[in-house]
Every structure is written in C-alpha cells, then in structure tokens.
Amino acid sequence: MKVFVTRRIPQVGLDLLQKECEVKVNPHERVLTRQELIDGVKEADGLLCLLTDTIDKEVMDANPKLKIISNYAVGYNNIDVEEATRRGIMVTNTPGVLTDTTADLTWAILMCVARRIVEADRFTRQGKFKQWSPMLFLGSDVHHSTLGIVGFGRIGRAVARRARGFEMKVLYTDVRRAPEKVEEELEAKFVFLDELLSSSDFVSLHAPLLPTTYHLIGEKELRRMKRTAFLINAARGPLVDEKALVRALKEGWIAGAALDVYENEPELTPGLAELDNVVLVPHIGSASIATREKMATMAATNLLAGLKGEVPPNLVNREVLKQS
C-alpha cells in the first residue's frame, strides 16, 4: 500500500504508517505546490493531508484509485467531501484529541487581549518599565464577565467549562440546542446570535466553516457587539469578515480581538498587524507536543484502517460505506 503524506508530522504517526506501507513524505519544510500535491497523489492509495492542502476535484482526478483522504485536523473544510463521497473515497479527521488544547489556546489569547499582555511584554522588553504606575496598561476584567460562545460543540463546551473558574456568565448559540444536562453542567444559557453579540463581553467562535457560517461575523454583527467587548477566533478565519474587523478595531466598534486563524491564511488583511488592540498568533490552537502526537497517531490509524478495508474510526462521510 502506498501512502503520500503532504507534510512531516510527528514521528509516531509516520512510524505507524511505515510499518505497513510504502510511505512518501513531503521532503520540504513548506506547504506543497499544487503540482507537487497532484504528483504525490498520483502514486498513492492513501493520502494524509493537512488543513493547508486544498483537496478538490482536480486533486482527486489525479488518481482514480485513491481510497482514503486522512486529514490531520478536526476541521475538514479544505476537502471537497461531497466530491470524495461521489467517488467512493473515504474522508477522515482527528476529533476529540485536540479539544482541550484548543480550548486552552482560546483562553490564552482571550486573556492576552483582555489584559494587554502582548503590549505589556513589548513595553517591558524595550526597557520602558521605569516605575509602577496607577494607569499603566489598564485592561478589562475577565472574571465575572459574560462569555458568548458561538458553536457549542466539543471545543465550545471545553471553553465554557474553563469559564466556570472565572465565575463568568456563559451564553451560547448553535444550530442545535445542547441537552439540558450539558447546559446545567456548564451553566450555559442558549440564546440566539443577536442576543449573544449584544450581551457578551467576550465573543468566542467555535463553529465549523460551512457555506452557512462563512462571514458569520461581519459589519452588522460587529456593530451589534458592545464597544467594550472582544472577539476571539480560534476556529476558522473565514467565519469573520476580516476587512470589517479591521474597521471595527480601528474605529472602536469593539475593544479588541484575538485571532489564531485568518480569512486568507497565512495572509493578514492590511491594517490588522498595525493595531495594538489585537493579538495575533499563527494557527497554533492544537499545537502542543502531546496533542500533535495524538493527531498523528489518529490520522495514521484512520488511514491504515481505510486501506485495509475496515471502517476508519473517524470517518466523516459515512455515506461512502453504502456505496461499497
């Protein structure tokens, strides 16, 4: 069995694959070009790819024998799943293992922007800290404030769980209301998006990127938020209209933002990087050593199962089974 891996992932995953397959790994420390990706897929029975690889019809056309696409991420908006299903190709992802790590990162950037940590760090390093001052880097309180969670799946709920330690009021919105038991356990109240936006001090996005969630937060929604509120996005960049966000941050419609993901990743919308009221990190939500190893193991396990004709544990397109 031949496997193509589009980027070096933690060795545990590669070891698993190498035990049973002929494995080709992208030798470069960069995302493959479109042509390199297509050339790699041509030879493979199984593809292990990243969220930075667009796996569409053209890529699938490169190899009619491709059996499985194993994404090294929980989000799989980079793959045309419908097209894969039509062709009988299995698609898998890595849910669960990155939930807590991504929730931790969400909290890290939320705290950073609320308490102006990045600005204060820069100031201190530059030797500007001469004396304690009553008005130095005044930020916003997180404790006892209101957190609005948009998308109440695994990661959204893990973020809510952490909010209890800060004695926050938690609101959430989702296409589906969570079971009563979950709402009670997390002390989270369901509201519609409009109410969440106008009532929250921190709005944190945890929805998947779908045609229905593209630009979920645009000018209208940003204007609906409190002028003292912060927007946090560790989900997918295109959930937010980044041009509108830059205007909101410049013109003070909201107090600040913390972003792990970008609309046109890795590009930043002009103006974003010049602003002090935004914290920017390079899509590192799941980036802990342990979690990336678990993701590698999971992606490899999914791939191997698919290649052996078994049902992969994290199959995204179950409809594909009906065809075989």
What is the binding site for ligand DGY (CB under 6 A)?
51, 73-75, 98, 285-286
- Residue 73 or 225: the one with the smaller Cβ distance to ligand DGY is 73
Reference 300, options 38, 60, 64, 47; nearest CA is 47
| Least Å from the CB of residue 102 to ligand DGY | 7
Q: How far apart are CA 53 and CA 40, in angstroms?
A: 12
Helix (H, G, I), strand (E, B) or coil at 82: helix
DSSP assignment string, 118-145 = HHHHHHHHTT---S--TTTT-----TTS
Taking the least distance from each CB to ligand DGY, the nearer of 224 and 294 is 294
Catalytic pick among 116, 157, 224, 236: 236
265 tagged catalytic: yes
Catalytic residue, from 20, 43, 187, 265: name it: 265
* Minimum distance, C-beta of residue 52 to ligand DGY, in the bound complex (Å): 10
Give Cα separations from 211 to 77, 149, 208, 239 (angstroms).
10, 20, 10, 10
Which residue from 126, 131, 168, 44 is spatially nearest to 53, judged by alpha carbons? 44
* Separate counts of helices (H) and strands (E) for the chain: 13, 12
Q: Closest CB to ligand DGY among 96 and 270?
A: 96
Residue 100 in tokens:
């807590």
Residues paired with residue 68 on neighbouring β-strands, in sequence order: 46, 90
Tokens of 290: 């342990």
Decide whether 197 or 258 has the Cβ nearer to ligand DGY.
258
Over the Cα atoms of the chain, what is R_g? 21
CB 261 to ligand DGY: min, Å: 7
Closer to ligand DGY at the Cβ: 52 or 140?
52
Q: Which residues are CB-neighbours of 324 under 8 A, at least 6 positions away?
A: 88
Burial class (CB in 10 A: 0-12, 13-18, 19+), 265: middle
What is the rounded CA–CA span in Å between residue 177 and residue 184?
Answer: 12
Query: Which residues, at least 6 apart from 321, have a Cβ–Cβ distance to it below 8 Å?
Result: 311, 315
- Residue 133 CB, nearest approach to ligand DGY (Å): 38
Q: For residue 292, indicate whether it is catalytic.
A: no
Q: Work out how close the CB of 174 gets to ligand DGY at its nearest, in angstroms, rounded to a whole number.
A: 18
Least CB distance to ligand DGY at residue 298 (A): 11
Comparison of 78 and 145: residue with beta carbon closer to ligand DGY = 78
- The residues annotated as belonging to the active site are 236, 265, 283
